[in-house]
Amino acid sequence: DKGNHRHFMEKEIYEQPEVISHALSHYVDFAENTIGANAAAIDFKAATGLAISACGTAYLAGLVGKYWFERYARLPVEIDVASEFRYREMPLSPSQAALFISQSGETADTLASLRYCRDNGLKIGAVVNVRESTIARESDAVFPIMAGPEIGVASTKAFTCQLAVLAALAIGAGKARGTVSADEERALVRHLAEMPRIMSRVLNLIQPQMESLSRELSKCKDVLYLGRGTSFPLAMEGALKLKEISYIHAEGYAAGELKHGPIALIDENMPVIVIAPYDRFFEKTVSNMQEVAARGGRIIFITDEAGAAASKLPTTATIALPVVDEIIAPMIFSLPIQLLAYHTAVFMGTDVDQPRNLAKSVTVE
Ligand code: M6R
């Protein structure tokens, strides 16, 4: 049932504040502002490293997770798309832990990567939406994302719930490994707790602007997304979402890679969507934006109020989100990229929930 939404995808975008709050309450003790026992079902303390594998959007959630596990838990992360991971013959040791991220829990390549790790003696954790799935059954520990059924082929609420769970796991791992102090844990958990409310506010705030921008985007043949740090996986997720449902060619790049190739594409016909909260990477990303502006590129700048005030560069549009802590920025910044893809597809009249050539669950290699 779509309720009063036109598509399941739209319904699932607007469900995010509620399902994220549900997901968080499984991993977080909001009374004490601590990470709870459900996040410790894998022994991250003893782990010498973490292997992560997944496909598509789940892989991009894992890529954000890599930044978090390395930063907060000082745990080195090896991550690859499952179709490569399973054939890499990568040397692994039983002292490493492994996480497999899958909404459906049935993705063939992700399952094969899991079995490769299991055969190598690693402890296996599954970050899944479907708790009865094959990937969940074959794991030592299951970390449910509690998003509820996701019907739209383009993943939205599963992505942000995967992120929320990975954030809790990484903070929990940091606590276990002594790299996150009790004070830091409380502060981070407080930020997680604020997230559902901020998400609701942002969804209401940006909707009209996303709808009007999508008219512009729908006229384009190609779109480039740029980001740095955790905004880099988001840039790739924005591009994936747009191409899946609007069939517009889009690419996500690390902002620093611009001058190593994609800058040759810049002209007035290809909008560049820059994702840059006012964080420690902001100035660097803005200097990449400057390179786009200098070549007549049109910029759609997704930033926060502090970033909008700090940059003097001309943009076609600036989306100024509220300033939020770094730990929740990836979830908050997912909202404009989802809505932009959604409204562009609606405007173009594609089959938003069932885009051509795609299946919700990919159970063959
Ligand atoms: O069920 P899974 O999370 O394992 O699926 C992985 C990908 O097939 C999936 O995320 C796909 O990329 C989505 N259509 C993205 O919107």
Tell me the C-alpha distance between 100 and 230, whole Å. 19
Residue 43 CA, ligand 1 centroid: distance in Å: 27
pTM across the whole model: 0.98
- The answer to whether the CB of 130 falls within 8 A of the CB of 100 is no
Sheet of 317-321: strand order equals: 249-254, 222-227, 272-275, 299-304, 317-321
> Is 360 a catalytic site residue?
yes
Give helix 157-177 / helix 182-217 axis angle, nearest 10°.
160
Establish whether residue 61 lines the binding site of ligand 1, counting it when its CB lies within 6 angstroms of any ligand atom: no
Among candidate residues 29, 49, 48, the one with its CA nearest the CA of residue 39: 29
Instruction: Give the pair of three-digit tokens for residue 105.
Output: 């829990």
Residue 39 CA, ligand 1 centroid: distance in Å: 23
The reported pLDDT for the residue numbered 182 is 98
Residue 82 CA, ligand 1 centroid: distance in Å: 12
- Which of ligand 1's atoms lies nearest the C-alpha of 156? 16
Residue 48 CA, ligand 1 centroid: distance in Å: 29
The reported pLDDT for the residue numbered 202 is 98
Which of helix, strand or coil describes residue 295?
coil
Q: What residues contact residue 345 under an 8 Å CB cut-off, 6+ apart?
A: 245, 246, 352, 355
The reported pLDDT for the residue numbered 135 is 98
- The answer to whether the CB of 270 falls within 8 A of the CB of 292 is no
Residue 359 CA, ligand 1 centroid: distance in Å: 9
Residue entry with tokens 């069932």: 354
The reported pLDDT for the residue numbered 245 is 97
Q: How many residues can be counted in the chain?
A: 365
Determine which one of 45, 175, 284, 360 is catalytic: 360
Pairing of strands 28-29, 34-35: antiparallel
Which of helix, strand or coil describes residue 212?
helix
Average pLDDT over every residue of 85-106? 96
Residue entry with tokens 């079995």: 115
Helix (H) or strand (E) holding 300: strand 299-304
Mean pLDDT, the chain, rounded, equals 97
- The answer to whether the CB of 257 falls within 8 A of the CB of 248 is no
Establish whether residue 28 lines the binding site of ligand 1, counting it when its CB lies within 6 angstroms of any ligand atom: no
* Rg for the chain, CA atoms, rounded: 20
Residue 57 CA, ligand 1 centroid: distance in Å: 5
Establish whether residue 83 lines the binding site of ligand 1, counting it when its CB lies within 6 angstroms of any ligand atom: no
Tell me the C-alpha distance between 257 and 324, whole Å. 26
298-311 pLDDT per residue, tens: 999 999 999 999 99
Establish whether residue 110 lines the binding site of ligand 1, counting it when its CB lies within 6 angstroms of any ligand atom: yes
Tell me the C-alpha distance between 296 and 245, whole Å. 28
From 12, 52, 107, the mutation candidate for ligand 1 (largest count of ligand atoms within 8 A of CB) is 107
The reported pLDDT for the residue numbered 15 is 98
Average pLDDT over every residue of 319-332? 98
Average pLDDT over every residue of 35-46? 96
The reported pLDDT for the residue numbered 215 is 95
Residue entry with tokens 């968080």: 24
Establish whether residue 235 lines the binding site of ligand 1, counting it when its CB lies within 6 angstroms of any ligand atom: no
- Closest-CA residue, ligand 1 atom 9, reads 56
One-letter identity of residue 323: V
DSSP secondary structure string for all residues of 35-84:
E-GGGGSS-TTT-S-EEEEE-HHHHHHHHHHHHHHHHHH---EEEEEHHH
Residue entry with tokens 């004490």: 32
108-150 pLDDT per residue, tens: 999 999 999 999 999 999 999 999 999 999 999 999 999 999 9
Establish whether residue 361 lines the binding site of ligand 1, counting it when its CB lies within 6 angstroms of any ligand atom: yes
Tell me the C-alpha distance between 122 and 115, whole Å. 10
**Gap between the terminal Cα atoms of the chain:** 31
- Which of ligand 1's atoms lies nearest the C-alpha of 153? 14
From 52, 55, 85, the mutation candidate for ligand 1 (largest count of ligand atoms within 8 A of CB) is 55
- Closest-CA residue, ligand 1 atom 7, reads 56
The reported pLDDT for the residue numbered 273 is 98
149-183 pLDDT per residue, tens: 999 999 999 999 999 999 999 999 999 999 999 99
Tell me the C-alpha distance between 166 and 99, whole Å. 10
Establish whether residue 286 lines the binding site of ligand 1, counting it when its CB lies within 6 angstroms of any ligand atom: no
The reported pLDDT for the residue numbered 253 is 97
From 240, 356, 362, 365, the mutation candidate for ligand 1 (largest count of ligand atoms within 8 A of CB) is 362
254-291 pLDDT per residue, tens: 999 999 999 999 999 999 999 999 999 999 999 999 99
Q: What residues contact residue 177 under an 8 Å CB cut-off, 6+ apart?
A: 44, 45, 73, 74, 75
Average pLDDT over every residue of 221-235? 97
Residue entry with tokens 């885009």: 355
Tell me the C-alpha distance between 55 and 81, whole Å. 5
Angle of CA points 238, 365, 143, to nearest 5°: 60
Establish whether residue 102 lines the binding site of ligand 1, counting it when its CB lies within 6 angstroms of any ligand atom: yes
Partners of residue 301 on adjacent β-strands: 274, 318
